[in-house]
């Protein structure tokens, strides 16, 4: 007879994960200051939209629940409002840690399983290409990130809404709206990436 094990019994733990976060994640060195008071989660305006919340996420990091942390909606739904960071009594830079965990999740390929991350990627693509969000192209990129068939299915399911938006002038047709100096924007972003890479190397 096969006995079904509870989820906790089959879960994989990475016991070096907390150390890795400490050494590789922006702000991670201060995570050991966390005393699990819950001020961050209690202050988060969108905590109800997160599966864990920052306090629990930090506990999961300590427990070595690497996959659950990188697949958590907490790192993708965070709006970077900094409420948690300014209220943390131990000075833990909660927002930086969450933001960098999201960046690392992209780097390690966890994004494929997280729907919000696909949306964030499409949003970023539009922002850096046009300097603005083009609803049509961004939505198409997001839908087709699920594959051709799923993309068409999602597009058709929302066709009526899209037509309504065009009719009421909430969405335009034609060439995407762009800022005037997209080359200038690319140069700024390239410089920011260069600074970021330099600071990451230096462990800043």
Note whether 44 binds ligand SF4 by CB under 6 A.
yes
Site for ligand SF4, residues 135 to 164, rule: CB under 6 A: none
Stretch that binds ligand SF4, among 94-102, 103-111, 131-139, 152-160 (CB under 6 A): 94-102
Dist CA 186 CA 4 (whole Å) = 53
Stretch that binds ligand SF4, among 9-17, 50-58, 177-185, 193-201 (CB under 6 A): 50-58
Backbone φ and ψ for 115, nearest 5 degrees, come out as -65, -45
Note whether 32 binds ligand SF4 by CB under 6 A.
no
Nearest to 94 by CA among 31, 49, 19, 51: 31
Closer residue to ligand SF4 in complex, CB, 69/143: 69
Note whether 79 binds ligand SF4 by CB under 6 A.
yes
Per-residue buried b or exposed e for 45-82, using 16+ beta carbons within 10 Å of the residue's own CB: eebeebebbbbbbbebbebbbbebbbbbebbbbbeeee
Dist CA 153 CA 151 (whole Å) = 5
Cβ-based neighbours of 58, under 8 Å, separated by 6 or more: 31, 34, 36, 92, 97
Q: How far is the CB of 204 from ligand SF4 (least distance, A)?
A: 20
The CA angle 88-73-37, to the nearest 5 degrees, is: 25
Note whether 21 binds ligand SF4 by CB under 6 A.
no
Note whether 69 binds ligand SF4 by CB under 6 A.
no
Of the candidates 11, 35, 128, 163, which one interacts with ligand SF4 according to CB under 6 A? 35
Stretch that binds ligand SF4, among 8-16, 77-85, 147-155, 164-172 (CB under 6 A): 77-85
Note whether 60 binds ligand SF4 by CB under 6 A.
no
Note whether 88 binds ligand SF4 by CB under 6 A.
yes
Cβ–Cβ < 8 Å for 67, 97? no
How far is CA 90 from each of CA 19, 39, 52, 97, rounded to the nearest angstrom?
A: 19, 10, 20, 14
Closer residue to ligand SF4 in complex, CB, 124/146: 124
Of the candidates 18, 34, 65, 105, which one interacts with ligand SF4 according to CB under 6 A? 34
Q: Which residues bind ligand SF4 (CB under 6 A)?
A: 34-40, 43-44, 46, 54-55, 58, 78-84, 88-90, 92, 94-95, 98
């Amino acid at each position: 007879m096969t006995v079904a094990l509870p989820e906790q019994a089959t879960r994989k733990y990475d016991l070096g994960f907390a150390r890795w976060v400490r050494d590789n994640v922006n702000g991670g060195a201060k995570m050991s200051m966390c005393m699990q008071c819950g001020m961050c989660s209690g202050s988060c305006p969108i905590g109800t939209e997160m599966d864990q919340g920052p306090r629990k996420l930090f506990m999961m990091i300590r427990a070595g629940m690497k996959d659950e942390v990188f697949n958590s909606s907490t790192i993708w739904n965070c709006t970077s409002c900094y409420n948690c960071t300014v209220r943390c009594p131990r000075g833990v830079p909660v927002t930086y840690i969450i933001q960098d965990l999201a960046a690392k999740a992209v780097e390690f390929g966890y994004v494929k399983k997280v729907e919000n991350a696909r949306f964030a990627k499409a949003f970023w693509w539009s922002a850096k290409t046009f300097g603005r969000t083009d609803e049509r192209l961004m939505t198409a990129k997001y839908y087709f990130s699920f594959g051709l068939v799923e993309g068409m299915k999602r597009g058709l399911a929302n066709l009526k809404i899209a037509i309504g938006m065009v009719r009421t002038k909430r969405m335009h047709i034609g060439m995407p709206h762009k800022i005037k100096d997209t080359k200038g924007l690319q140069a700024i972003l390239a410089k920011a990436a260069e600074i970021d890479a330099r600071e990451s190397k230096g462990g800043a």
